[in-house]
Amino acid sequence: MFKQVSGVATVALKVDPGMLEQFARAVAGAAREITEVDLSTPFAESQTAASGTELSDICVAACDAGITALQNLCLRLSEVAEIAHGTAGNYDVTETDFVEMLNELDVPQ
């Protein structure tokens, strides 16, 4: 179904609301599971593996980078789940609107 919005043709997003809600729950579950990942223990155990080298500093930097990456991934998944959950009950969302919501995700760099 096409409709004009501000002079631009858009396509209505046709999605089974139940499937979209199921997707939202699955993505939210994945985000929750990510918060349980323990990155610090393996890096902490590796810090003393090669005394007299820079391995300890490298382990700290790698651990910090890994934790930041997982936090960003968790945030992104949570926001996608929230958008999908909110969209599941809204039958008038266009594909353009949905894509804009995904593009507006504010994830720290």
* Pair of tokens at residue 99: 């894509």
Q: Whole-structure pTM over 0.75, yes or no?
A: no
* Pair of tokens at residue 64: 């910090």
* Pair of tokens at residue 95: 């594909």
Query: 44-97, pLDDT tens digit by residue?
Result: 888 888 888 898 888 889 999 999 999 999 999 998 888 887 766 665 666 777
Work out the end-to-end distance of the chain between its first and last CA atoms, rounded to an integer number of angstroms.
37
Residue 19: half-sphere exposure toward Cβ, Cα within 13 Å: 3
* Contact indicator for 83, 102 with CB cutoff of 8 Å: yes
